[in-house]
Chain A
Amino acid sequence: MSTAPPDADELSRRAGEFLAAHDPAATEPLEFLRARFDAGLAWVHYPEGLGGLGAPRHLQPAVDRRFAEAGAPTNHPERNGIGLGMAAPTILAFGTEEQKRRFLRPLWTGEELWCQLFSEPGAGSDLAALATRAVRDGDAWTVNGQKVWTSMAHEARWAILVTRTDPGVPKHRGMTYFVCDMTAPGVEVRPLRQITGEAEFNEVFLTDVRIPDEHRLGEVGQGWRVSTTTLMNERVAIGGSAAPRESGMIGVVAALWRDRPELRTPGLHDALLRAWVETEAARLTGARLRQQLTAGEPGPEGSGAKLAFAKLNQEVSGLELELLGEEGLRYDDWTMRRPTEVDFTRRSPGYRYLRAKGNSIEGGTSEILRNIIAERVLGLPGEIRVDKDVAWKDLPR
């Protein structure tokens, strides 16, 4: 066991040693990923024995680059964003030692995918209004309810689940958080077809689902506190990418502008340049946010980053359709499918335009994010709350 947390040089040395001992080309991918986890080089800021070495978080990208350059197999983060971005940090913060040892390794290697059973038909932005009931029954809980907008539910082995365990107290106090086995009897996943024609997410019906008490995450009644950790990590996961200039939607439209002079009009030129400037401003803001994190002085800029991203993606994908004119009238495929990842660039302009409409709803609506900025950053008075001191069971629904 080391005493001081490893620095950049130490991590680089360990990564080098690991790669020398495990030839990426000759090692079976899953075996390689498990060994990388066991060596503490999976997420270096996690504790030893749980995939990390207790190193500073900002040293992770250099380690990832080192492995990528060596041609190491990936754990397909695009397929397990909820597991890696939200479930893992929540389990780390609130899980028992046994839960951490059971769940984190197969989560990181991608052997077990995760989904998030949070939103309900009656509780989206107002998550604490949720109605899915969990009732104690000896060493287990019996769960009944309906969740919605659940990405990856059709692939996931496990879910993070938040439930109501005490309807007699105000809504934030009567919630409890669990890990739910998606293969348990009574879990039914139904595809939910959306605006693009495909079913990227699902409805999940929970009927008398038994969850052992050892799969409870945090104390009974502490579900809101645990959920807050998940949601904070969700926004960090969404805002933290390091994109080069002209990446994403603006790159798609700029390339189209250069390749197809016959489509150009003066008005669209102006709109394109305005969007180009806005995208560059958002990119530089993201770069500054990362510099702040590295310097250990995190700012609240992350909440604005998601807001700006959603607005831009919607504007620029709409611009692309107008630029295409007649071609913009067509769509690639309305077939109902169940994709496991979202990739804007592999689908048609029409898909991009429609899918972008989700950006201002998923992971916190733009309206909720504006409330958060106004109240927590600018210190403006909170919304008038009529539900604060009322027992959940007495609230109008």
Chain B
Amino acid sequence: MSDLLYGEIENDLRASVREVLGDRAPWASVLAGTERDEPCDAALWRTVAGELGCAGLPVPEELGGAGATWRETAVVMEELGRSAAPVPFLSSAVIATAALLAAGERELLAGLAAGERIAVLAVPFSAAPGDVRTTVEAADGTLTGEVTSVADGMAAEVLLVPAGDGLYAVDAADARRTAATSLDMTRRLADLAFSAAPARRVAEGTGAVRAALRTGAALLASEQLGLAERCLDDTVAYVKTRYQFGRPVGSYQGLKHRLADLWTSITQARAVARHAASCVAADDADTPIAVAVAQAHCSAVAVKAAEECVQMHGGIGFTWEHPAHLFLKRAKADAIALGTPDRHRAALASLVDLPPA
């Protein structure tokens, strides 16, 4: 059984990331950022990825990283989930980094680890770990084709594109990029088109893409955990102070019991997310099952937490001025991202020998 607790280093890391996000990404500024036409909060990204060294956590020291593991990265994901911070951490520091680690691509990796460059894997954000279909063709060192709904596609400087017989790196300036209006306002999508774009092959086959999507799905569970915790914390604080019929609404059993159930689900999500992060960190044989369980479970918990947050805040929870909607949009998009719960349950069915009817 993997270690499901947090170590001292992880607790210290959490404290410093939470402090920075508290200063630099309070919800009011996250909300204000959604009204601006910027693909992400570039200054915040430089701080978290570069100055705090979070982007290089899983990268070996000889490649400019911290030589830690995906477990520590998962703690950063929890904190980013708590704030719905608009930074391309999942896209660049997790998914693209995992692809490059699997590919053994040193040059690009060093820039990513230092937080100096942003790369994204050019697949639809909804792609599940088993999805390796490609809509892009490779010929004579160029790529042609289209990819839709790529997370942080506008923020990226490097696009890692699965095409033909491998994975290619394309300079973002060589692609035609269109910003999409995204359900999750804090992690925006882009549609990409390549027309004989110059490309360099960084990996053969589909192994790097599979590893990237699997690692992304594993760590997304930690983001979902952090988001759910934040929603519960905010809701508990609110129902203690909101009076109706002469008493705090949090004294009504109708709400107390729902919050107790939510707390129980989040407690489970923590164990499940830690197990998934530990499994990818150790390249454990249990990883595929751990990831499928984590996505099937944590997606539902995060959505439920955000929905309860909106509902229990009453009218204020339905307004633009309250952060609940940022979390609901992030939670629902996260449930679709990297495979819906149903896709993960289907994957699980074959992994644990429970075949369909």
A217 within 8 A of B: no
- B 323-357 to A, binary, CB cutoff 8 A, 1 in contact else 0: 00000000000000000001001101100111111
Partner of B352, one of A276, A284, A308, A367: A276
Instruction: Of the listed stretches B86-94, B100-108, B129-137, B257-265, name the one at the interface; the rest are far from the partner chain.
Output: B257-265
- B 243-273 to A, binary, CB cutoff 8 A, 1 in contact else 0: 0000110110101110111011001111110
Check if A377 sits within 8 Å of B274, measured CB to CB.
no
Whole-angstrom CA separation of A277 from B272 in the bound complex:
10
A88 within 8 A of B: no
A38 within 8 A of B: no
Query: With A258-B353, A276-B348, A374-B256 in contact, do A381 and B247 touch (Cβ < 8 Å)?
Result: yes
Check if B5 sits within 8 Å of A281, measured CB to CB.
no
Check if B264 sits within 8 Å of A307, measured CB to CB.
yes
Check if A370 sits within 8 Å of B260, measured CB to CB.
yes
**Nearest CB to that of A283 among chain B residues?**
B271
Query: Dominant SS at the A interface?
Result: helix
Whole-angstrom CA separation of A376 from B293 in the bound complex:
30
Which residues of chain B are near A265, meaning CB under 8 Å?
Answer: 357
**Nearest CB to that of A380 among chain B residues?**
B250
- B 143-174 to A, binary, CB cutoff 8 A, 1 in contact else 0: 00000000000000000000000000000000
CB contacts under 8 Å to A, within B192-240, are 236, 239-240
Whole-angstrom CA separation of A262 from B250 in the bound complex:
49
Whole-angstrom CA separation of A280 from B351 in the bound complex:
14
Q: What's the minimum C-beta distance from A87 to chain B, rounded to whole angstroms?
A: 29
Whole-angstrom CA separation of A383 from B247 in the bound complex:
11
Check if A377 sits within 8 Å of B263, measured CB to CB.
yes
Check if A380 sits within 8 Å of B348, measured CB to CB.
no
Check if A378 sits within 8 Å of B260, measured CB to CB.
yes
Whole-angstrom CA separation of A380 from B254 in the bound complex:
12
B297 within 8 A of A: yes
Which residues of chain A are near B272, meaning CB under 8 Å?
Answer: 280-281, 284-285
Instruction: Of the listed stretches A4-12, A286-294, A326-334, name the one at the interface; the rest are far from the partner chain.
Output: A286-294
- A 258-287 to B, binary, CB cutoff 8 A, 1 in contact else 0: 100100111011101110111011101101
Query: With A269-B354, A379-B240 in contact, do A288 and B257 touch (Cβ < 8 Å)?
Result: no
A1 within 8 A of B: no
Whole-angstrom CA separation of A265 from B357 in the bound complex:
5
B296 within 8 A of A: yes
- B 2-30 to A, binary, CB cutoff 8 A, 1 in contact else 0: 01110000000000000000000000000
Whole-angstrom CA separation of A280 from B292 in the bound complex:
11
Check if A258 sits within 8 Å of B267, measured CB to CB.
no
**Nearest CB to that of B342 among chain A residues?**
A270
Q: What's the minimum C-beta distance from B129 to chain A, rounded to whole angstroms?
A: 16
Check if A301 sits within 8 Å of B267, measured CB to CB.
yes
Whole-angstrom CA separation of A367 from B254 in the bound complex:
11
Check if B271 sits within 8 Å of A380, measured CB to CB.
no
**Nearest CB to that of B232 among chain A residues?**
A378
Partner of B259, one of A258, A272, A380: A380
**Nearest CB to that of B274 among chain A residues?**
A288
A21 within 8 A of B: no
Q: A246-B352, A281-B272 are in contact. List 17 more A-B contacts (CB 8 A).
A: A258-B353, A258-B354, A269-B354, A273-B346, A274-B296, A277-B345, A280-B293, A281-B271, A284-B268, A291-B5, A292-B5, A295-B5, A367-B257, A370-B260, A375-B256, A378-B259, A380-B251
Binding site for A on B (CB under 8 A): 1, 3-5, 236, 239-240, 247-248, 250-251, 253, 255-257, 259-261, 263-264, 267-272, 274-275, 293, 296-297, 342, 345-346, 348-349, 352-357
Mind listing 29 A-B residue pairs with CB under 8 Å?
A246-B352, A264-B356, A264-B357, A265-B357, A272-B354, A273-B346, A273-B348, A273-B354, A278-B297, A280-B272, A281-B293, A285-B267, A285-B272, A287-B1, A304-B267, A307-B260, A307-B261, A307-B264, A308-B268, A367-B253, A369-B260, A370-B253, A373-B260, A373-B263, A374-B259, A377-B260, A378-B236, A379-B236, A380-B256
